[in-house]
Chain A
Amino acid sequence: MLDDFMTRATLAGVGVALAAAPLGCFVVWRRMAYFGDATAHAAILGVALSLTFQMSIFAGALAVALLMAFTVTLLAGRGYAMDTLLGVLAHSALAFGLVAVSFLSGVRIDLMGYLFGDILAVSRSDLAVIWGGAALVVVLVVWRWSQLLTATLNEELAYASGFDPKREQLILTLSLAVTVAVAIKVVGVLLIAAMLIIPAAAARSLARSPEMMAVIAALIGSVSAVTGLRAAYVFDTPAGPSIVCVAAILFACFSIVGWQTQHKA
């Protein structure tokens, strides 16, 4: 079954969608969309380093994404507004990454693949990494769900309930880095944040509870992956961006429906 490249691509897309959905909800609730962007953009630097030192792309991207996430956490609240800080870090990391890649001979052709993803070239071992990473993220988020939610609502409430919200933040940061690293192959560094935010935002108007929002986001993400791939095959369009386009269309539809029911009520 895994011999077919379309089957592998579909499984990869669904795997990323499943990990990105619950995490994306937290990114939306905590207003850290730019944080996702910064972590993702930094990953291109990780790709360049991986190619230089001939290590696995996944490991390099994960390391740099983590480094980026910790740098942002460390610098937060030290003079610059968060969006300024993230704007500086995200785009600097992307620029340094692109420059670093240009030093490597023979990789220029591959660059598009890392920027926009190369989901049709997903191998069996890629699939194992994607599903392994996705499973790790889902298990982490489900395990800490109540604590993560409480920490998202109010830091003091978390302390008074007897746990450290900074540890929960760390779990989110770690999950984000893992998701970014596994999603590079599927949608590329420029569109990872889209896979986090769009399904979660689309699920908002349909959900009455946080759990429901995460589940609906996972469904929307998976449907986007399957439909987007199909569309890419039929219309011969780039696969990663096609997936994000479907998610965006679903977001628009659900938002209009949600907006109308709100006005009727």
Chain B
Amino acid sequence: MALITVEDLSVRYGANTVLRHVDMSVEPGEIVTIVGPNGSGKTSLLRAIIGATSPSAGRVLLKPGLKIGYVPQKLHIDPTLPITVERFMRLTNRVSRKSCAGALESAGAHDLLKRQMSQLSGGQFQRVLLARALINRPDVLLLDEATQGLDQRGSAGFYQQIEAVRHKTGCAILMISHELHVVMSASDRVICLNGHVCCEGSPAVVASAPEYRALFGTGTGGALALYRHEHDHHHDHGDNSQEAAE
């Protein structure tokens, strides 16, 4: 059974319909990326999946007992709120000090445990958010443009971290991203969203789809080239997972 199944989902804010008849699913262990222009309903789709937005039609089915790890797009902690990384990590997760330190370690942020959240850099902050999402060993990780505000090196490092997490824990990943080149290299499946699902499939298929080109222009040729290039070095994406699915 799929971890997350979205059936004929529509979401409306007042008179404004942001999502129309969206069908999609996330299978165990796969990396699915949602791309789409601003206002295409990417965040609304993620919000509907976690239950923050109620659909005007259709439904979201989660596998019973599904554990979701969520990495928000942006988390503003008011400087008047004193909170250490450790306290933040254990806020809603009843976990031991040790597994908290372990989660930070696997997110590459082991030395931050006692630091104040407000003193972290953008990259450190994202690592802590990732560690927090992973602490309960989720079946699926949801990321909403988690690399916003990071420079290219920072976001490349962050996506490498995600890859490593998938490799190590086997958890599925559903993410929203603006960074097309990263998306193209690191996803098993890409869903191109613009109020509805325009096209869907392996990165190579989506990148050559006319709907995708219409949305993102011809610049995507470069993304595809990069995808192919990356593909030479990482043999655990795309094709392999399709073989596994067969």
**A→B interface (CB under 8 Å):** 28-31, 146-147, 149-150, 152-157, 159-161, 201, 204, 207-210, 212-213
Residues of B within 8 A of A210 (CB): 81-83, 87
Nearest to A30 among chain B residues (CB) is B78
24 inter-chain pairs at a CB distance below 8 angstroms, sorted by A residue, are A28-B78, A28-B80, A30-B78, A146-B91, A146-B92, A149-B91, A150-B91, A153-B77, A153-B81, A153-B91, A154-B75, A156-B50, A156-B70, A156-B144, A157-B72, A159-B47, A160-B68, A160-B69, A160-B70, A160-B142, A201-B80, A204-B82, A209-B83, A210-B87
CB nearest to B53 among chain A residues:
A159
- In angstroms, how far is the closest chain A Cβ from the Cβ of B67? 10
Q: Which of A29, A147, A156, A159 contacts B78 (CB 8 A)?
A: A29
Is B161 engaged at the interface, CB distance under 8 Å to the other chain? Answer: no
Q: Which residues of B contact A156 (CB under 8 A)?
A: 47, 50, 52, 70, 72, 144
Q: Please tell me if B116 contacts chain A, counting CB pairs below 8 Å.
A: yes
Selected contact of B80 from candidates A153, A160, A204, CB within 8 Å: A204
Question: Besides the contacts A29-B80, A201-B80, A209-B82, what 8 more A-B pairs have beta carbons closer than 8 Å?
Answer: A28-B80, A150-B91, A157-B70, A159-B47, A160-B50, A209-B83, A210-B81, A213-B82
Question: Shortest Cβ distance from B49 into chain A, in angstroms?
Answer: 9
Number of residues of chain B lying within 8 A (CB) of chain A: 23
B84 interface residue per 8 A CB criterion = yes
Residues of A within 8 A of B80 (CB): 28-29, 201, 204
- Complex Cα distance, B53 from A215, in Å, reads 36
A31, A150, A156, A209: most-surrounded residue (chain B CB, <10 A): A156
B51 contacts partner chain A, Cβ-Cβ < 8 Å: yes
Residues of B within 8 A of A31 (CB): 78
Task: Please list the residues of chain B having a beta carbon within 8 angstroms of any beta carbon in chain A.
Answer: 47, 50-52, 68-70, 72, 75, 77-78, 80-84, 87-88, 91-92, 116, 142, 144
Complex-state Cα separation, A67 to B194, whole angstroms = 41
Q: In whole angstroms, what is the CA distance A30 to B77 when docked?
A: 9
Given A156-B144, A157-B70, do A208 and B84 touch, yes or no (CB 8 Å)? Answer: yes
Distance in Å from the Cβ of B114 to the closest Cβ of chain A?
A: 9
Contact: A159 with B84, CB < 8 Å? no
Give chain A residues whose Cβ lies under 8 Å from the Cβ of B81.
Answer: 29, 152-153, 210, 213
Contacts of B82 in A (CB 8 A): 204, 207-210, 212-213
Chain B nearest Cβ from A251, distance in angstroms: 13
- A45 to chain B: closest CB distance in Å? 31
Q: Which of A150, A201, A204, A208 contacts B92 (CB 8 A)?
A: A150
Chain B residues with Cβ below 8 Å from A149 are 83, 91
Which residue in chain A gives the minimum CB-CB distance to B43?
Answer: A156
B87 is contacted by which of A29, A152, A209 (Cβ under 8 Å)? A209
Cα(A12)–Cα(B187), bound, Å: 62
A213 cross-chain contacts in B, Cβ below 8 A:
81-82
Q: Rank and list the top 3 A-B pairs by shortest CB-CB distance, nearest first.
A: A160-B70, A159-B52, A161-B92
Shortest beta-carbon distance from A132 to chain B in Å: 29
**Distance from A230 Cβ to chain B, minimum over Cβ atoms (Å):** 30
Question: Which A residues lie within 8 Å of B116 (CB)?
Answer: 208
Name the residue on A nearest B46 (C-beta). A156
Q: How far is the CB of B57 from chain A (nearest CB, A)?
A: 20
In the assembled complex, the Cα of A201 lies from the Cα of B77 at a distance in Å of 16
CA distance A160 to B80 in the complex (A): 25
Q: Which residue of B lies closest to A211 (CB)?
A: B87
| Bound CA span A147–B52, Å | 15
Closest Cβ of chain A to B98, distance in Å, is 20
Min CB–CB distance A147 → chain B (angstroms)? 7
| Shortest distance from the beta carbon of A8 to any chain B beta carbon, whole Å | 34
* Chain B nearest Cβ from A207, distance in angstroms: 5
Q: How far is the CB of B142 from chain A (nearest CB, A)?
A: 7
B contact residues around A153 at 8 Å (CB): 75, 77, 81, 88, 91
Residue of B nearest to A156 (CB): B72
